[in-house]
Structure 1
Amino acid sequence: MLPCVAQPAAVEGAVDPAWILERLARPAPVSTPFVELRGSAMLKAPLRIHGEYARPDEQTLVRRVRAPYAETTTIRQGEATIARDGRRPRSFALSRAPELAGLQASFGALLAGDADALARDYRISARGSRQDWILVLAPREAALAASVRDITLRGRGAELRCIETRPVEGELQRTLLAGAARSAVAAGDAANDEVLCREPGAAAR
């Protein structure tokens, strides 16, 4: 059983955090496509960024952006390195970027199946069913909690389809993954990202 994890009431069809985390664990090497929506008051529509997350080994998390620009962020051993075409890579400690530290702690721990690490960094709760579940991560550390209220993961079975990050200030940030990301890329500007994230079976239709 996971330490410090809130368990839902025992009702038929209910899902618990331990069941979800066991299904999401993927041994390295592993990768998954993503489509990220970044909202801003300066933009008429959210900026759509797509690429892939990769975990080449147990200690490394890589975020590769393919469009609308090319950028690779590598997170390893408490340090992040960002590389763009035509520019020198720049490296800095994760302590200077709590959002990247949160990414490693959440997404990295999920792929690693490290439930203990996830429970140390977040208060975890779950609701829904095994066919349509929601996992909510609330930061414990003050540095991350100062910028992120919570992170909501949405999925079906063993598929993590969407991550919604709710910042302390600013708009909700949504990242589509796996089948939801592939459907969003295929549909282009016609994609309804909120539906792909939240509606069970939307990507299959």
Structure 2
Amino acid sequence: MDWVLQALARPAPSHTPFVELRDSPMLRQPLRLQGQYRRQADGSLVRQVDSPYRETTTLTAGDAVIERDGRAPRRIALAKVPELAAVQAGFGALLAGDRELLQRTYTVQVQGSRTSWTLQLVPRAPRLAAALERIDLHGRGAELRCVESHPAKGHAQRTLMAGAAAAAAGVEDPSVLATLCRDASAAQ
């Protein structure tokens, strides 16, 4: 695990593009979101959606602020939404290379090699585990290419990042995006 954490650690500020596919029984086809993740110098995490709508979610110590064009900003206490608190703790720990903080929030397993690896995060807190089964992070070398969130109920949500997001340009087929997520060689 230490070599993955060392590879993923990024000094703040940092940013990476993303492509996310959201599936729902209410949609005819999955919703494709594109934007950028940022880690600010103050440690806050920002998810900026640029398409198909504009929305910015900022996770800071204790709060999430959601801003969407044409609407008043919404502030939510992270204590009320354990999934967002776990995202902040987990990704903040990953980007800081903080093994202890990561292991306080998740049970961590690493599989693969330095050229193609998976870091599996299983929530420790029962309340979070009731909503989130696990998060699988797929990477190649020092690049985090995809985050797969597996809710306790429903379908996995995939967020392609960095090189995988670039490889997903123009790709709409969910099965191809899943392949790009899990198989780093598919984008070569």
TM-superposed deviation, 1:161 = 0.4
Determine whether 1:87 maps to 2:71.
yes
CA RMSD of aligned residues (A): 1.3
Detail structure 1 runs of 4+ shifted over 2 Å in the superposition.
186-191
Q: Where do 1:12-161 residues align within 5 Å?
A: 17-161=1-145
State the alpha-carbon separation in 1 of the partners of residues 82 and 22 from structure 2.
17
Q: Which has the larger radius of gyration?
A: 1
Gaps of 5+ in 1: 1-16
Aligned partners of 1:49 and 1:149: how far apart in 2?
23
* Structure 2: unaligned runs, 5 residues or longer: none
Report the TM-score when normalising by structure 1: 0.87
The 8 Å contact of residues 58 and 112 in structure 1, kept in 2 or not, is answered as: no
Paired residue for 1:163?
Answer: 147
SS in structure 2 at match of 1:57: coil
Identity of aligned residues (%): 54
The alignment status of 1:180 with 2:164, answered yes or no, reads yes
Report how many residues are paired: 187
Q: Relative contact order (C-alpha < 8 Å, sep 6+): which is higher?
A: 1
Cα deviation digits, residues 126-160 of structure 1 (max 9, x gap): 11111110110000012211100000010010000
